[in-house]
Structure 1
Amino acid sequence: MTDGRVLIGVFLCTDRDANIILGSCSEYLPHSINGKPANEEPRMLGLVMIPGKHIVSIHIEMNNGYSSTLYNPLNKNIDALDVM
């Protein structure tokens, strides 16, 4: 983030303006704020929308052990009745 905060969460979606939505998000403050040491404990935020103009960088960690079928890209057409 442009203000030095780090947000860690599950990427859910983005839009044409480069805004992103993170789920189960935690906020980590920079190491020092106004010369004072920052609290090392993360703050739980939950579901957040981050404006694209405030994003400095994005790092991705792949979880290869994830077992959900929603995690894998679709390789065939699925009928909505098959999902319900």
Structure 2
Amino acid sequence: MTSPDEAKAKLRNWLNRTMKIEMSDKRVLIGIFLCTDNHRNVILGSCLEYLRYKECGEKGEPRSLGLAMVPGHHIVSIHVDSSTCLS
């Protein structure tokens, strides 16, 4: 089990990194991780929404959301791009 200090360190490491969130309704949001809360809600900056997202590179047309709050109960999976950091 992860200690609270380890969990906080992991979240700090994710700040300003590109994050892909898959939602329960099959939408995919890609944006810059800004913060989260105790309810697992996530705030993404410069967020793009994809209605159909495939790993093979076929992404469809994105919709620009800008700043977006993603409700924690709709999050299915999160992927953090470890190679990009804007800080």
* Alignment TM-score, normalising by the size of structure 2: 0.62
Please state if 1:21 is matched with 2:43: yes
Take 1:47 and 1:60, find their aligned partners in 2: how far apart are those partners? 17
Determine which structure has greater relative contact order: mean sequence separation of CA pairs < 8 Å that are 6+ residues apart, divided by chain length. 2
What RMSD, in angstroms, separates the aligned Cα atoms of the two structures?
1.9
* 1:24-35 equivalence runs, <5 A: 24-30=46-52
1:11-41 alpha-carbon deviations (Å, 9 max, x no partner) = 000000000000000000026xxxxxxx811
Based on CA coordinates, which of the two structures has the bigger radius of gyration? 1
**Number of the residue aligned with 1:40:** 60
- Structure 1 unmatched runs, 5+: 32-38, 72-84
Take 2:83 and 2:44, find their aligned partners in 1: how far apart are those partners? 16
Aligned pair count reads: 60
Take 1:62 and 1:11, find their aligned partners in 2: how far apart are those partners? 12
* Alignment TM-score, normalising by the size of structure 1: 0.64
Take 2:61 and 2:31, find their aligned partners in 1: how far apart are those partners? 15
Larger % of helix: which? 2
1:23-62 alpha-carbon deviations (Å, 9 max, x no partner) = 000000026xxxxxxx811000000000000000000002
Runs of 4+ in 1 over 3 A off after TM superposition: none
- Structure 2 unmatched runs, 5+: 1-22, 54-58
